[in-house]
Structure 1
């Protein structure tokens, strides 16, 4: 009886852990296409980014005005802020990312609409009505 009584709560705990891990994997798979360093405009990637071991980082001194961001796992970093990606879900032909961002002054929730383009670039939209968006090229994966 003791073993059966223990397995019930232990089994429930295992199920909760597995479902949490699975939901993280699902969210992660939605972000897989956005992983890497992205840059908008005519600036060369080498002017903004430098290699940092296995990944990429912002070149020092950081240009806080660079239209750039890096997605690594469930983190999105800009020259001025670090964000945790709380969720990523389809919104028509775009992805809606809900971010929990913080900089040296404050923290806030930010919603971002993005879509990958057939040529491998990415477009960021200011809102649902924005049909043009801002184009970003991928600098590294």
Structure 2
């Protein structure tokens, strides 16, 4: 069985990645997609970083991601590939790698958040760490720019 792991967060890039993953699965005969989001509970004040309070509502977060996945499946225009969603807690790249190794995926799809050089220096890129240590092939998704630059 060909299966792929898709690492997502709540960014617009992840919404694009979800749609891409369903199209990719259809074109490449992937039989199942597993989506993972990792909740971190560290206090960082980096712009754009999504952190959850110590007593986050797991059901609410899970439903939010299921809604994102279902929206991405509809927007993809691809036939419905079976999927599962896993909500994990820990360090994102470690949990993604742990799941990839445990379930022996053929591929990991992950988005690129576009951190600045300074942010990447201090906290690193989850995608870069996954690429560096992955037990399987990796596809790093860079969404296409859909907006034209403003005319001056």
TM-score by length of 2: 0.23
Identify which of structures 1 and 2 has the higher relative contact order when contacts are C-alpha pairs closer than 8 Å and 6+ apart: 2
If you compute each CA radius of gyration, which structure gives the higher value, 1 or 2?
Answer: 1
Which structure shows the bigger proportion of residues in strand conformation? 1
